[in-house]
Amino acid sequence: MEMKLTKIARTGVAVLALLMLGSCGIYKKYETPTSTVLTKAYAEARELPTDSAAFGNLLWENVFTDPKLASLINMALENNTDLRNAKLNVEIAQANLKGAKLSYLPSLALAPNGAGASYAGSDLSWSYTIPAQLSWEIDIFGKILNSKRGAQASLYRSEAYAQAVRSQIISAVATTYYSIAAVRNQLSLSRSTAELWKETVQTMKDLKNAGRGVTEAAVVQSSANYYSILASITDLEVSLDNLNNTMSLLVNTLPQEWDVTDKVDLSVPQVLRAGVPMAELAARPDVQAAEQALAAAYYTTASARAAFYPGLNIVANGGFTNLLGSMIKNPGDWFYQLAGSLTAPIFARGQNIARLKASKAQQKQALNSFEYALLSASAEVSDALTVYEKSQEKSALLVEQVANLEKSVEYTKDLMLYSTGSTNYLEVLTAQQGLLSAQISQINTELARARSVINLYQALGGGR
């Protein structure tokens, strides 16, 4: 009999060893895939030391040095609802991870009960049991391990997402701030231009009344020009109100008018270069979040594989009772039981197979999303660099254009005043319109340059 038990035990150990050998893949930790050139470059970049001088790694206080803007960014970081919710998501992920870690510990349950019974008119007999059950799942095939690792990946993903939201808020506040400044600048320019055009209308009327070759058509044309700029001012006022409301939402306060001067400048470090190292793209929080989503999907697949293997549970029952067999004993006595069970799935109506197939497909989706996040990050950086470079060139050209158009307006006015030609008023109107258009384009180009710097900072993972 003893030999048979020994043989059975050896067989059981051998079967268990074979199962563990076949399941070694479910214990493997996630590693960044290197199956493509893109992901391989990313994996190598992750091993490089952090470059604290890189533009995306600079603290936002060192990039946005305007005191009013810095104050607004601080307000947004303290009060913004989206950032608060992102931080709460981190707390939720931390709680889930803690729960996954505690799954390694045994569970303990206490279920006291009592009952009374009387037979054939006998006295009521009371029985009671105060049992405690201790249950412990032995994690032989990594079910709990993969659950814990998946929860850890979800926590990292939540933290990366919170950082991405922080970066977006900083960029949104800065963009809105410079947009308000640009619209204020346009309003100031349009109002002063409107005064000049109003004077032109009066000049046209005076020349017509003096018989200086200016017709009624010239007067009404100049008046139409004047009213067109007044109409554009109303559009700018609406845009300014919308921008002020946007800023109020970002800092989570009631709508109000924000004190932003119309003359602001964004001074930034030298950011132009031939290309952006992969290490800077790897620092982006959205890229890191995409990779952690892939890691969580990897562990979900590992958990689906582990479901095909047996589960080992040890259960211990013990407590105090006065019900022993068919007898009621007073006082009661202590009792205990100890049992172990090995449960292996044989047929689960295809649920384990379906779960594994689904998790593999979801893992491939997560890989595709991760690779796309890298490509998207690279494109965003390239776009921001191009806009920054070209806005610098365009700004220099517009300075020359505005200077020449200012002279053109001056010259055509002189011609209108001292020439008897009846078409000079058209030249004046054309020159005035061209100057205003160039000046507004100059303001928009400066805004585009500021936005490109903000976008580049965000695209490189800035906002720490």
Please give the mean pLDDT across all residues of the chain: 80
What is the pLDDT at residue 13? 46
What is the pLDDT at residue 18? 47
At position 376, the amino acid (one-letter code) is S
pLDDT in tens, 352-376: 888 889 989 999 999 999 999 988 8
Check pLDDT > 60 for residue 421.
Answer: no
What is the pLDDT at residue 235? 93
Check pLDDT > 70 for residue 42.
Answer: yes
pLDDT in tens, 119-133: 666 667 777 677 777
Mean pLDDT of 395-422: 77
Integer angstrom CA distances of residue 202 from 199, 405, 415: 5, 22, 17
Residues 6+ apart with CB under 8 A from 339: 314, 315, 316, 317
Q: Which of 121, 110, 123, 119 is nearest to 330 (CA)?
A: 123
Q: Which two tokens stand for residue 19?
A: 């199962």
Residues 361-399, buried b or exposed e (16+ Cβ, 10 A)?
ebbeebbebbbebbebbbebbeebbebbeebeebeeebe
Number of Cα atoms under 13 Å in the Cβ half of residue 313:
11
Check pLDDT > 50 for residue 223.
Answer: yes
What is the pLDDT at residue 434? 85
Using CA atoms, how far apart are residues 200 and 55, in angstroms rounded to an integer? 49
Three-state secondary structure string covering 381-393: HHHHHHHHHHHHH
pLDDT: which is higher, 313 or 9: 313
| Burial label, 402 (beta-carbon count in 10 A; 0-12, 13-18, 19+) | middle
Looking at the DSSP bridge assignments, the partners of residue 108 are: 134
Q: Which two tokens stand for residue 423?
A: 């078409």
Q: Which of 219, 215, 196, 217 is nearest to 435 (CA)?
A: 196
Confidence of residue 445 (pLDDT cuts 50, 70, 90): confident
Using CA atoms, how far apart are residues 320 and 306, in angstroms rounded to an integer? 38
What is the pLDDT at residue 9? 43
What is the pLDDT at residue 310? 79
Work out whether the CA dihedral 443, 233, 252, 66 comes out positive or negative. positive
What is the pLDDT at residue 11? 47
What is the pLDDT at residue 246? 92
Asked which of 143-152, 169-178, 232-241 is least confident by mean pLDDT, the reply is 143-152
Q: Which of 60, 38, 8 is nearest to 463 (CA)?
A: 60
pLDDT in tens, 2-17: 454 455 445 444 444 5
